[in-house]
Amino acid sequence: MGPRPLPLLCSLIAVVFLVSRAKAVALPKASPLHILFVVVDDLGWSDVGFHGSKIETPNIDGLAAEGVELDNYYVLPVCTPTRSAFMTGRYPIHTGMQHFVLGPASPYGLPLNFTTLPQKMKELGYATHMVGKWHLGYNKWAYTPTYRGFDSFYGYYNGAEDHYTHEIQNILDLRDDKEPVRDLNGTYATFAFTKRATKIIKSHDPSNPLFMYMAFQNCHGPVQAPEKYTEKYSFITDETRRTYAGMVSITDEAIGNITQTMKDAGLWEDTLMVLTTDNGGIHSRGGYNYPLRGEKTTLWEGGVRGVSFVHGNMLGRKGVKSEELMHATDWYPTLVNLAGGDADQESIPLDGMDVWNTISHGDPSPRKEILLNIDPLPFDNDDPSVSFYEGVALRSGHMKILMGVNNDTWYTPPELGGKSESKHVISPRKDQVLDLLASTKENVGSRLKVVLYNVTADPTEHEDLSEKLPDVVKELQERVQYYIKGMVPPFNKLPDPRAFIKAELEGIWTPWQD
């Protein structure tokens, strides 16, 4: 038989090529990385089972045990500054959000010139959804979540809302995107938020990447929980602590429900979960950080050393505890880079660092120091009741310096005896603080009381080493002075009466400056 005709041979080659190409196209593509970023409000260091708490947190404990627990991870002492750090990757001293929190009538918010984490995720093709607490401004619509990168928002703008009425100062604060939600009076907020989160997850296409920011209202005051969740803590005689324990249990149950829904929806195997508090617990509202010193609103370890872990199949190691330094600003570059972006291309330099190799593989942290905060008074206010000045604190390696901080003690949970230790008082004077911030040339140590701790050897901050290690004090003061030179003034402004007028007129807290 002679040679095949050339046209027939070409046709066979073409068929083989097309079949091969069809097979290549049919190969499954790599699954996208989904990100579940969970913030538990005011969760204390000693309020989770994996830190030895008597409060039951089986879902949280199980996830932490399967992932990487972060033991030297820091946040800010209160809500708004920490959330600004999550969203921008910058220290609050660089965004003007360093002092205290936004109020219902605060006429400012997280500056609009900063690209937020959800905006970056949208650029990378993510569906972005937020459920829960915003607390980063809403005086204009441009400051609200759906204008800052979220495809959807179901939650509230302020902080400290009633968990059943969803009101603050007797005015509603609950939204579905921009629309008021007026039919949930009597529904416990965390139940409503969990229901919305699971609805989003069920309707999401697993082939598309998902970024969910789940910012729980629990365990922030007012301290409220259904009796069903508090009765098992009858051994806690202190009512506030008992109710707070119920709030933690509700949160743990919600996390279990959300993660189970992700499993049922086929998302969980490709999900990276981050859980973090926004600050330490506060004993007057039932939260505790024992054996750490201090609490929410302070720069002691109890205020800024945060409960956190990371969970996911993509981790290179699991079931371990990381002792490396990490900070709230680090999530921005870490998650952006992990999602396929390049956080180094930001026009405004980041303070956060990519710590993925530290978390996933146990590499040394690229971070050698953390500015815990520089908190000046927000405006010229001679009212002695203004007591939320935090002072200055910096951690460098094993050492931590605190300057001009208010004294605080060790708050022991009531179920452990409820005893507190006392220490000497460090009381900053307003003129000292203003003097410090007005000058960047003089030695700050001459004007503010200074204490120094080795928080690796002494994590409970009992032994002040400032007199024994004056060279270390001087070195860290110089680092503080460096940060002072680059600090922007806080944006805090007095409440705008127009906010109250419009809120009362519309029956809901709403933007009033558009």
* Secondary structure of 360-392 as H, E, C letters: HHCCCCCCCEEEEEEECCCCCCCCCCCCCCCEE
Q: In this structure, is residue 323 part of a structural domain?
A: yes
Query: Which residues lie closer than 8 Å to 46 by C-beta, 6 or more apart?
Result: 52, 53, 281, 288, 289, 290, 291, 292, 413
The DSSP annotation for 417-447 comes to T--EE--------HHHHHHHHH-SSS-GGGT
Q: In this structure, is residue 90 part of a structural domain?
A: yes
CATH assignment at residue 346:
3.40.720.10
Does 226 sit behind a cis peptide bond, omega within 30 degrees of 0 on the bond before it?
no
Higher pLDDT, residue 324 or 23: 324
Catalytically annotated residue among 79, 94, 99, 327:
79
pLDDT tens sequence across 358-374: 999 999 999 999 999 99
Give, in degrees to the nearest 5, the angle at Cα 513 between 509 and 514: 105
Residue with token string 């697993």: 206
Q: Output the average pLDDT for the chain.
A: 90
- Report yes or no: 297 and 60 within 8 Å, Cβ to Cβ: no
Q: Which percentage of the chain shows pLDDT scores above 70?
A: 86
Q: In this structure, is residue 468 part of a structural domain?
A: no
Q: In this structure, is residue 64 part of a structural domain?
A: yes
Q: Is the pLDDT of residue 4 over 70?
A: no
pLDDT tens sequence across 283-314: 999 999 999 999 999 999 999 999 999 999 99
pLDDT at position 75 is 99
424 is an active site residue: no
Averaged pLDDT, 236-260:
98
pLDDT tens sequence across 437-451: 454 334 444 456 899
pLDDT tens sequence across 63-103: 999 999 999 999 999 999 999 999 999 999 999 999 999 99
Query: Which pTM value belongs to this model?
Result: 0.91
Which DSSP helix (H) or strand (E) runs through 150? none
Catalytically annotated residue among 34, 135, 283, 327:
135
Domain count, the chain: 1
Q: In this structure, is residue 198 part of a structural domain?
A: yes
Q: Is the pLDDT of residue 237 over 70?
A: yes
Q: Which percentage of the chain shows pLDDT scores above 90?
A: 82
Q: In this structure, is residue 249 part of a structural domain?
A: yes
Residue with token string 């930001």: 346
Q: In this structure, is residue 466 part of a structural domain?
A: no
311 is an active site residue: no
Q: Is the pLDDT of residue 482 over 80?
A: yes
Per the structure block, which two tokens stand in for 195?
Answer: 């229901």
- Report yes or no: 287 and 77 within 8 Å, Cβ to Cβ: no
pLDDT at position 449 is 87
Range of the domain at 360: 34-368+489-506
Per the structure block, which two tokens stand in for 44?
Answer: 């204390």
Averaged pLDDT, 200-222:
98
Per the structure block, which two tokens stand in for 19?
Answer: 């079949």
Query: Which residues lie closer than 8 Å to 228 by C-beta, 6 or more apart?
Result: none
pLDDT tens sequence across 7-17: 444 443 444 34
Measured over the CA atoms of residue 378, residue 383, residue 387 and residue 393, the dihedral's sign is positive
- Report yes or no: 312 and 272 within 8 Å, Cβ to Cβ: yes
For helices 239-264 and 189-203, angle between their N-to-C axes, nearest 10 degrees? 10
SS3 for 330?
Answer: helix
Nearest to 372 by CA among 65, 142, 78, 4: 78
Q: In this structure, is residue 274 part of a structural domain?
A: yes
